[in-house]
Structure 1
Amino acid sequence: MDKSVVISTGEKLDTRRSLVHEDSIEYPHTLFLEDGVAVFNEQMELLPLISDFLSHYRKGHSDLSVKTYANNLLYLVKFLTTYDENHIGSLRDNCLLTVHATEIQRYFDYCKKDKCKDGKPKRAISGKTIQNRDAAYSRFFSEFLCNPPAGYRTIRYEEDPYERGRLAGAAKESLIKPALFLDVEALILVANHEREKCLIQFMFDSGVRRAEVKDILQDSILQLSRGLRRSVIVDDETFQIASEYVSMEIRGNKARGREAKHRNTVVSKATINRVQRYHSSIEYKKHKRQWGDRPLPAFLNQEGNAYTARSVSKLIKKLSKRALKLGLIKVELSPHKLRHGFGAMLLNSEDLGKTQLDRLLLLQQCLGHKSLDTTQMYTKIPVGVWERFLDRNGIALKRHQLMKKLQDRTRAKKGIAK
């Protein structure tokens, strides 16, 4: 539904010719200026209530969050105007002016089922997703439509469907399912190009989100690589040797005020070196020319463009299907499972903290979690899930040693890598 959401990037969005003006609906905000959001239904009719809410909501939230809220509200409107006898045929998003709590609860019941009203099969929605939609609806009704902020006047005169709290039941807590070391190794082994191999290893070793890949720059990798080669003579008997890990700044997803939310994560020396060698390849140097003076991404696709969030998912899905077909993995992997794999591996890396609490606090910083409660989900993974790798003396390999092994065991053969 992303095509139904238009977010202004500075230009004026004139809605004077919109079908919204054919109604007698009394609503003052029908011209979306700079920083505005316009949301349309499947008939490409402007939905003024949702659009105005999101234009206000966008002032303190990321564009990704805006699109998520828009889609959640679109799902509710579509259900009400398609299946609810009290709202079938309702124009645009007018149904939101009169919908009651019981009708929203019926929508949540529908989400949990695996069949449509006409009996056709559909995908049941998870409890966590329903909770997210419930939170979006609560904010829309309680903080906007029924209790409008400054500059907006009340237009819904029915009671607030959320005046007594959330309408969806509590979601069942699900355990994190991380990608394991051998799963990631399989994914890298079936990749034919070093550009894909080092991207997968970097994501697994850094915990970056798929949308953050495009903002990892070649210059950042270069500076970290140079720092890893430095050794300092402190005195005649003391040498300062570079660590096996580096602290890397990640330009995260946009947060409140649409400013990038920066954080630091921990990446192993072996992974940085692998990416740096990829930057020395003929393919990367060829694509580098087309970027000119623009900031150069560390990872470029086959056409020499930066990886988008969607193209990262598409790549991992492609490699997963290949690995599944060869019997190398049992379940399909995803970018978020790689991120979970990073988190679980760091939490079990005793060289990155003396106690689990030390590592938990480090992990919170690396993943960019606001609340430690979110990070603590990683402590609920059964210990038996974790593969332990030992050296010949029976000593457990550290995380940086595993990353070096991953690099050595998955290096592209000559004549294949490009």
Structure 2
Amino acid sequence: MTVVVVRSKFLDLGDSMLKEGEEGDDLKGVVTVTGAGVFDKNERLLPLISLFLSEKVDAKSFALKTALTYGRNLSYCQDFLDSRQELRSWQLDDKFLHVGRPVLLKYVSEMHDDELGTKTIRNRDASILSFISKFLCIARDDRPAFRIDNPYEAGLISPAPKSKIVKSCSLPELKVLIESTPHERERCLLQFIFDSGVRRSEVSRVTRFSIDEAIRLGQAISPLEPRSLGVPSNYYLLHINGSKGGGDQIKERLSMVSPATLERVKRYHASAIYKRHSRIFPKDKAPAFLNAHGKPYTANSISALLARVSKRAIRQLKLEKSISPHKLRHGYAYALLNSKDIGDDYLERLGMLKVSMGHASFKSTEMYTQIPPSLLNAVCGTNLEAASKAVDMEKLFSETKLSIDARAKK
């Protein structure tokens, strides 16, 4: 199966193979294309699934990555339906117009037999429900519903996924990662990701200007009203252009960052190598972090950095398993919940975490409550009396900072 999703992509019709047809002379010029196409193994378009995804992308109900995920999930089910003898008379994705709940139950059972994770099974099941219940079974102004009966009328078929403790990067593991790179630029970046809770895809949107503003404004009143959340004065509020907005829109939020971390970033900004590379960017648009070639970090390059330093630490027997970028974000969550200088109690810190992580609901934030508060200290590497994210970051900076040679090229 192949899934293609685009939004506002320029397409030159002059190069189209359709020009070879009888009406090809009418195809000319450049058009803007928004939509999705899902193709089977014989490269035939699956029209119903493609129309479903195209409408979602066009209405900006789905981000591009979300549409890709739905397309893949539906194509996996399409493969299963193609193997069913009782559906062999139906072509392409017309099988979704006739499949009943018993066959879908067999599909869920087969996924369990293949030992797929409960969350994966649930996600695929939810994709099928959305496609059938909210698209095929819904009439539009310009067309009737594609099917009348709904095999999902009784709800999702798969059982609820099992709850698991979120695995994070602990403070001791963060120190090992930092010490596994000889470049202060990379050490600074690793501490920043952990202490700010940014996603890997958000790093490139953090600018030098936003770092300067966080230091200058401190706890100034903002649209999120941080004072009402009781944010302590020993933390700076950093503006983050988030990656989880609907329809690929930027979702803004504020994150609580320790002064020592921003001091480390400003120290990096004062280096000759950063000044040299950042000159090509407008003053208020310069990325806060640049790679060895002076380019903004991408999500993939962040993953590559973590993979590289993790592998080095594992080889030196300092780590048992590789640390992914998202585990640093989880580390931020546990560090904030364990920081006794933030909020009056655990519940208040949980509310602050929801805002600073950019979660739409408490359901996402509550996954961090799977670990008992008594174990948070072991995860974060601090003790009950002096548990403070700000103090931990200051100590980490002091113990791991390196000088930046003015002649350095990396």
Q: Counterpart in 1 of 2:47?
A: 48
| Structure 2 residue 122 is the aligned partner of structure 1 residue 131 | yes
Taking the aligned partners of 2:339 and 2:259, their CA distance within structure 1 comes to: 15
Query: Structure 1 residues 400, 335: closer, same or farther in 2, change over 3 A?
Result: same
Amino acid at match of 1:74: S
Give the aligned partner of residue 389 of structure 1: 382
> Residue type matched to 2:263 in 1?
N
Instruction: Assess, with a 3 A threshold, how the Cα gap between structure 1 residues 150 and 179 changes in structure 2: closer, same or farther.
Output: farther
Q: In structure 1, what is the Cα distance between the partners aligned to 2:309 and 2:85? A: 46
Report SS of the residue matched to 2:56: helix
Seen in structure 2, the aligned counterparts of structure 1 residues 274 and 149 have a Cα distance that, compared at 3 Å, is: farther
Return the offset for 1:384: 2.7
1:361 partner letter: G
* 1:75 aligned residue: 76
2 CA distance for matches of 1:267 and 1:174? 27
Name the residue aligned to 1:110.
110
Please state how far the C-alpha of 1:347 moved relative to its aligned partner. Answer: 0.7
In 2, Cα distance between the equivalents of 1:143 and 1:35? Answer: 21
Matches of 2:136 and 2:363, distance apart in 1: 31
Mapped to 1, the partners of 2:159 and 2:398 lie a distance apart of 49
Matches within 5 A, 1:201-350: 201-227=191-217, 243-256=233-246, 258-292=248-282, 295-350=285-340
Partner Cα separation in structure 2 for residue 303 and residue 103 of structure 1: 54
Report the 3-state secondary structure (helix = DSSP H, G, I; strand = E; otherwise coil) of the residue aligned with 2:279. helix
Counterpart of 2:184?
Answer: 194
1:218 deviates by: 1.6
Cα deviation, residue 330, structure 1: 2.3
Q: What is the alpha-carbon distance in structure 2 between the residues aligned to residue 295 and residue 408 of structure 1?
A: 29
- Distance (whole Å) between structure 1 residues aligned to residue 138 and residue 360 of structure 2: 28
User: Is residue 144 from structure 1 mapped to residue 135 from structure 2 by the alignment?
Assistant: yes
User: How many Å apart are 1:246 and its aligned residue?
Assistant: 0.6
Alignment partners' CA distance in 1, 2:325 and 2:298: 12
C-alpha deviation, 1:315, in angstroms: 2.0
User: CA separation of 1:345/1:289 partners in 2, compared to 1, >3 Å: closer, same or farther?
Assistant: same
5+ residue gaps in structure 2?
19-30, 221-231
- In 1, Cα distance between equivalents of 2:297 and 2:291: 6
Deviation, 1:336, is 1.8
Residue type of the alignment partner of 1:209? R
1:7–1:38 CA contact under 8 A, matched in 2: no
Q: Distance in 1 between matches of 2:103 and 2:32?
A: 34
- For 1:89 and 1:199, the matched residues in 2 are separated by 57
Asked if 1:371 is matched to 2:361, the reply is yes
Number of aligned positions between the proteins? 379
**Which amino acid in the other structure matches residue 137 of structure 1?**
I
Distance 1:97 1:305, change over 3 A: farther
CA distance in 2, matches of 1:149, 1:311: 44
Alpha-carbon spacing, 1:412–1:153, altered in 2? closer, same or farther (3 Å): farther
1:183 maps onto 2:173 in alignment: yes
The residue identity in structure 2 corresponding to 1:79 is F
Question: Given residue 199 of structure 2, which amino acid in structure 1 is its aligned partner?
Answer: R
> Structure 1's 91 and 401: CA in aligned 2 closer, same or farther, altered over 3 A?
same
Q: Which amino acid aligns with 1:359?
A: R
CA contact (8 A) 2:46 2:92 kept: yes
1:74-102 alpha-carbon deviations (Å, 9 max, x no partner): 22223333x43445797543432333323
Q: TM-score with structure 2 length normalisation? A: 0.82
Distance 1:95-1:374 versus aligned 2 partners, 3 A rule: same
- Asked whether the equivalents of residues 4 and 44 of structure 1 are also in contact (C-alpha less than 8 Å), the reply is no
Partner amino acid, structure 2, of 1:297: P
| In 2, Cα distance between equivalents of 1:112 and 1:325 | 35
Structure 1 168/403 Cα, relative in aligned 2: closer, same or farther at 3 Å? Answer: same
Map of 1:119 onto structure 2: none
Query: Does the 8 Å contact 1:61/1:254 carry over to 2?
Result: no
Taking a change above 3 Å as real, the CA distance of residues 218 and 372 of structure 1, as seen in their structure-2 partners, is same
Shift of 1:144: 0.3
Going from structure 1 to structure 2, the CA distance change for 1:202 and 1:414 (only over 3 Å counts) comes to closer
Mapped contact 1:206–1:342 kept (Cα < 8 A): yes
Identical columns (%): 37
Q: Give 2:7's aligned residue.
A: 8
Deviations 1:78-127 (A, max 9, x none): 3333x43445797543432333323333232232334xxxxxxxxx3211
The one-letter code matched in structure 1 to 2:134 is E
Aligned residues of 1:214 and 1:306 also touching (Cα < 8 A): yes
Task: Say if 1:316 and 1:334, in contact at 8 Å, map to a contact too.
Answer: yes
Deviation string 1:209-256 (CA, Å, 9 cap, x unpaired) is 12211211121112223446x9xxxxxxxxxxx943111121112523
Q: CA deviation at 1:295?
A: 2.4
